[in-house]
Amino acid sequence: MKYTNPVIPGFYPDPSVCFANGKYYLAASTFQYFPGVALFESDDLVNWEQFGYALTRPEQVMLKNINSSGGVFAPTIRYNGGRFYMVTTNDTTHENFYVYTDDIYGEWSDPITVDQGGIDPSLYFEDGRVYFMSNGSDDEGKGGVVQCEIDIATGKKLTASKCIWQGSGGRYLESPHLYKIGEWYYLMAAEGGTEYGHMITLSRSKSVWGPFENCPSNPILTNRNKAPYIIQGIGHGDLVFDKSGNLFILSLGFRQIHMWMPYHNLGREVFLTPARLTDDGWIAAGLDGTTDESYEIAGDFAQKPIKEYTFASTDPGIDWCYLRTPDMADYTLTKEKYTLRGSSLTLDDVDSPTFIALRQRGFCFELCCDVGVTDGEGGITIYMDENEHYEIAVRKAADSYEAILRLNIGGIKHIQTAIPLEGSKARLCIEGDNLFYKFAVVSGDGSERRELGVGSTKYITSEVSGGFTGAMIGLYAVNGEAEFEGFALKYME
């Protein structure tokens, strides 16, 4: 069958995968959003369904007032002895920790910290021993991929931290994962930075402690010189064998908004690339060491399209997420209506405004929702971070109500349009494509449409805002209660 990349569209970066009980399970980064570490399952590596999060309790992860693109960095998910483990970094508190569960659909444990620095931690299990690795500096101050043996029950180090590989020469060595295939230990990592120079590199050794030799074909996977091409930034991958013994790499990557415009607004997404063992015992990926838009692989299953999002078709505990440390008493969420009670906090604050969001998962979409307020402001936002976001909203203005379009880019916060409303409720609509977001107020029967303005997608991108997240489609309220009904989000791709 033929599949198209990305296999998980939208802001789900740093994928890690394991196989257990006949299914594939995947974990992805969440940074300042809560709950933390999104979890997916699949029967075929192509169709993925999110079923929850690993960090669902505030005491599991400190997110209060953290900087955007801080918080929960790249996770690794592994399965051993009937138990799932997820190890990650809180980059704001500089802690590496793991949680575990015997029921991946249930709650995960409280965190267990490991006294080793760096980011992008990973676990490797073999013969009753557990090895913990990250990128950083070892106990002698040597930088690279650093490894120690730990007691998995307590997180206590059983050996000194030792640098086992310093990469192939690219900058920002990260995302180390260790595998045993045959007689070889393969150490795969990312280099080049998680931008346009991103790449996956490989080394191997016959000892878990090295020395590791570089693959002569490094990088084994990169799109850094594949131009002009929409798919860029391929890197930070994890290896997995499918049920038939075929090898694949699940990696992050991103799609430019246009072939000739190096901006990306959807965040770093999940791409699937076929791989194979070579005759000389190394690993090759893709048709030519790059990730393509589509591949033919064995199987008789079909790739499912992105679903349409309504309140009835989504689960607020799975599809939706919040900023940092939400007060759940401010949210009343049903299949018919979402009611948000807003404080004085706004989307400009590095805090937890009343905000609930979906990831933007495709370039082209249509979204409409009926929004009503009594006091304050409530609306829909296209949100990258506290500095870059667009919103269309209904707000109280003296003794009347108005619909507004506000564009926020860097330090510029500008109300583009404000039009009076006959009542306190309006149907707000957004149309998105690769280059623009178009904002409008539509009458209840759809017969009248009042355009409020346009925002360029390129200003809601990592190239403008910095950081590691992606565009979110959010509902918010400020200084009063807002009601949202008739929410309908449809993708055109």
Q: Report d(CA 129, CA 207) in Å as an integer.
A: 14
To 5 degrees, how large is the angle CA 80–CA 202–CA 98? 35
Instruction: Say if residues 271 and 249 touch (Cβ distance below 8 Å).
Output: no
- Given 14, 377, 386, 481, which residue is catalytic? 14
Residues in the chain: 493
Q: Name the one residue in this structure whose structure tokens are 């569960």.
A: 101
| Structural tokens at position 341 | 């009670």
Q: Report d(CA 430, CA 454) in Å as an integer.
A: 9
Q: Name the one residue in this structure whose structure tokens are 């409020």.
A: 452
Q: Catalytic site residue 174?
A: yes
**How does DSSP assign 311-370, residue by residue?**
TTTS-TTTT-BEESS--GGGEEE-SSEEEEEE-S--TTSSS--EEEEEE---SSEEEEEE
- End-to-end alpha carbon distance in the chain: 19
- Given 120, 174, 269, 483, which residue is catalytic? 174
Compute the half-sphere exposure of residue 17: CA atoms within 13 Å on the CB side of its CA.
Answer: 30
Residue 63 amino acid letter: L
How does DSSP classify residue 399?
Answer: T
| C-alpha distances in Å from residue 228, one per residue of 9, 200, 202, 231 | 21, 20, 26, 9
| C-alpha distances in Å from residue 22, one per residue of 18, 169, 196, 396, 414 | 11, 38, 35, 54, 52
Closest C-alpha to 275, from 181, 380, 165, 378: 181
| C-alpha distances in Å from residue 441, one per residue of 142, 370, 397, 431, 436 | 59, 10, 17, 11, 17
Q: Report d(CA 95, CA 209) in Å as an integer.
A: 24
| C-alpha distances in Å from residue 182, one per residue of 78, 86, 128, 165 | 19, 25, 18, 20
| C-alpha distances in Å from residue 255, one per residue of 121, 223, 461 | 26, 11, 11
Q: Catalytic site residue 14?
A: yes
Element (H, E) at 465: helix 462-465
Reduced to 3 states (helix: H, G, I; strand: E, B; else coil), residue 378 is strand
Instruction: Say if residues 270 and 7 touch (Cβ distance below 8 Å).
Output: yes
Closest C-alpha to 52, from 77, 69, 21: 77
Q: Which residues are catalytic?
A: 14, 174
